[in-house]
Copies of this chain bind each other. A is one copy, B any other.
Amino acid sequence: MINTDNLPNDLKSLESQIVELRLKMEDMEKKNPSNKLSMVVFSGDMDKILAAFVIATGAVAMGMEAVMFFTFWGTPVLRDKNKKPGQKDIMSKMFGAMLPKGTCEVKLSRMNMAGMGTAMMKSLMKKKNVASLEQMLEMAEELGVNIYVCEMSMDLMGFKREEMINYQNMTFCGVAKFLEEAKDSRIQLFI
């Protein structure tokens, strides 16, 4: 005859092992990155910003979340050309004047040729049905792409929040916020 004396104890041991496994698994699951794409948009070049938006909107179209962290030369691209900032010191005025004001003023990173190359590219994009940066930005807003704007860059270049475009999911934040998102993302890029 089979001895079943130890069975209840064995069962309890098994049960506690299962509980332990489950906790470990939940812990691992929490650490798993979300179905998200995070990118730093450092560049202020038309071509790179176009690539950034194509990637971000493409990701959302695929069911991913997308986060764009605009910093340094990327920041002025989010200015609204029709908005006027209030009082500024001389340095901020100089930066303000020298940097592109919004998506329509950005230039190609190469072959700009005093603006001719950029104009050529814009006309080509129209002809080939590639969305312009303005359309991309609209699309991104509709699709719910999150735009973060680097506060340090805003401060350095003397930009004010009231100069920036209206965009639903726009947040002003620091690098820590970006890193948090990036850590929780399946894809991270620096553009």
Contact = CB atoms under 8 A, between A and B. Distances in A.
A85 interface: no
Interface string A74-104: 0000000000000000010010001100000
Interface of A: 2, 4-5, 7-8, 10-11, 14-15, 17-18, 21-22, 24-25, 28-29, 31-33, 35, 37, 39-40, 42, 44, 47-48, 51, 54-55, 58-59, 61-62, 64, 71-73, 91, 94, 98-99, 109-111, 120-121, 124-125, 127-128, 130, 152, 155-156, 174-176, 178-180, 182-183, 186-191
Given A47-B73, A62-B179, 5 more contacts: A25-B25, A59-B179, A125-B156, A130-B156, A188-B189
